[in-house]
Amino acid sequence: MQNRQVIVIGGGMVGALTALLLAKQGDSIHLVEKTPCIHPLENEAFDLRVSAFSAQSKKLLELAGVWDLLPKNRLCAYQRLQTWEKGSQKLCFDSKEIGIDALGYLAENRWIQAVLWQALKTLNNVTFYDNRQVASIHNSDSGVSVNLDNNQQIQADLLIACDGANSALRQLLNIGITAWDYRQKCLLINIKTDSAQQNITWQEFRETGPCAFLPLAENNASLVWYHSPQKINHLKSLSNQQLKQVIVDEFPPLPFDFSVEDKGAFPLTRRHAQSYFKGASVLLGDAAHTINPLAGQGVNLGFKDVECLVDLLQNSSDLPIPVLLKRYECKRKPANLLMQSAMDLFYKGSKCELDSVRLLRKGILHLAQNSGVVKNKVMKYAMGL
Ligand SMILES: Cc1cc2nc3c(=O)[nH]c(=O)nc-3n(C[C@H](O)[C@H](O)[C@H](O)COP(=O)(O)OP(=O)(O)OC[C@H]3O[C@@H](n4cnc5c(N)ncnc54)[C@H](O)[C@@H]3O)c2cc1C
């Protein structure tokens, strides 16, 4: 068992999972979260922020002992995935083809966060500082000391920043980013359907951006509509009834009747930290990288960061912290960059005017659909297997 003092900044999905796994290894955890602790209710309406969790992410949540704490009426397994370019052949994946129960699971971010917090609250080596932020930091190779906004001071061997895409810690540590704006937004729309829970997720690529369907538990689902900021702002300004009519007229056909329950717009920005660590402080999850959400890989990449760092801390604990963090960076940075770039190839390929780029993309999809080996490899890679 380890007995390091570790500060985790940000108790979102990535930060809370890191805190829980390290606490279970015996480290003393100081978890600093800027918002008050959340307690979602099982009978509440579905939240707009949902994520698709890969089989690998599910395994990690099982290892942390929280998967079974998720209420069944907030979790949806999907067995099939279809993707196509408008007017072209569909690429279809089915979990049966590789002999597994589900390709992935959809759940609200806030429920994943809530069950992680529930488990953290049972441990006496975790100290919570919720509703708090870091005011200043002193960071060196040999340790970290932070002052919170209530003047409280915490000292530790290691600081793990999981404070999301606009990470204040990344800025306090003076770590730069490369970033670009896709000049697109996406509208998340929660709907209630008049049919039972779906087991398929799909995405149609269009020149204006993708349109996606994500099934949620029972007769709920989420639609994701990418378009220009002007169009998305217009759609967002409509009443739910008016928006339903536009979905019927312009979105890919939905095979059931539905009502629009909620909607919200998100900008699309790609960011990548130029370095993943400095001294004894390290970045994980969206604090280190954000990705185009079109393939639902954001939190799955964040969970792979967690798995990698926790494994290094457990199995290479004899190494000085900066050496260990360098190893983490060498493993995770190229992998995250590869996934960011692959998503951009698909995203830009579908919007590109150049016939050669569109043909390349169609060729990849055609090859994947018609070669069982390639298709199974793609499927397993996306699932993190
Ligand atoms: C529209 C959209 C759809 C998406 N869909 C998917 C999907 O289907 N699948 C998928 O895998 N990913 C998806 N993602 C990405 C996914 O939501 C993120 O990758 C994931 O939430 C990142 O988790 P995180 O814990 O790193 O950051 P966050 O979820 O942003 O959590 C950061 C936490 O830190 C706290 N915090 C912030 N600042 C401070 C501070 N200064 N001090 C203390 N605490 C602080 C916040 O309150 C929060 O609790 C999507 C993203 C978008 C925008």
CATH class of the domain whose range is 76-106+182-269: alpha beta
pLDDT of residue 87: 81
pLDDT of residue 344: 80
Query: Which atom of ligand 1 is found nearest the CA of 14?
Result: 25
Greater model confidence, 181 or 245? 245
163 lines ligand 1 (CB under 6 A): yes
- C-alpha radius of gyration, the chain, whole number: 21
Of the listed ranges 1-10, 222-231, 331-340, the one predicted with least confidence: 1-10
296 lines ligand 1 (CB under 6 A): yes
DSSP string for residues in 66-128: -GGGS-GGGEEEE-EEEEEETTSPPEEEEGGGGT-S-SEEEEEHHHHHHHHHHHHTT-TTEEE
Average pLDDT over the chain, rounded to whole?
91
pLDDT of residue 357: 61
Centre of ligand 1 to C-alpha 282, Å, is 17
Shortest-distance Cα residue to atom 53 of ligand 1 = 266
Query: Which atom of ligand 1 is found nearest the CA of 106?
Result: 8
**Is the pTM higher than 0.85?**
yes
Centre of ligand 1 to C-alpha 246, Å, is 29
Question: Which three-class secondary structure state does DSSP give residue 154?
Answer: strand
d(CA 2, CA 88): 54
Contact 244, 30 (CB under 8 A): no
215 lines ligand 1 (CB under 6 A): no
Centre of ligand 1 to C-alpha 232, Å, is 21
Centre of ligand 1 to C-alpha 61, Å, is 17
pLDDT of residue 222: 97
Centre of ligand 1 to C-alpha 262, Å, is 20
Alpha helices in the chain (DSSP H): 13-24, 55-63, 109-120, 168-172, 229-237, 240-250, 298-315, 321-351, 355-370, 372-382
10 lines ligand 1 (CB under 6 A): yes
User: How far is CA 293 from its chain centroid?
Assistant: 8
Shortest-distance Cα residue to atom 1 of ligand 1 = 266
d(CA 304, CA 385): 11
Identify which of 103, 163, 201, 203 to mutate to test ligand 1's pocket (most ligand atoms within 8 A of the CB).
163
15 lines ligand 1 (CB under 6 A): yes
Query: Which atom of ligand 1 is found nearest the CA of 224?
Result: 1
Centre of ligand 1 to C-alpha 124, Å, is 26
The answer, yes or no, to whether residue 354 has pLDDT greater than 60, is no
Centre of ligand 1 to C-alpha 164, Å, is 5
Domain residue limits, the chain = 5-66+109-178+271-348, 76-106+182-269
* Banded model confidence at residue 89, pLDDT cuts 50, 70, 90: confident
pLDDT of residue 359: 63
For 98-136, how does the pLDDT look when each residue is reduced to its tens digit (9 = 90+)?
Answer: 888 999 999 999 999 999 999 999 999 999 999 999 999
d(CA 271, CA 359): 28
- Which of 40, 309, 56, 289 has the alpha carbon at shortest distance from 160? 309
The answer, yes or no, to whether residue 1 has pLDDT greater than 60, is no
Locate 121 and state its tokens: 């609250």
* Banded model confidence at residue 373, pLDDT cuts 50, 70, 90: low
Query: Is it true that domain 5-66+109-178+271-348 has CATH number 3.50.50.60?
Result: yes
Portion of the chain with pLDDT greater than 90, in percent: 77
* Banded model confidence at residue 174, pLDDT cuts 50, 70, 90: very high
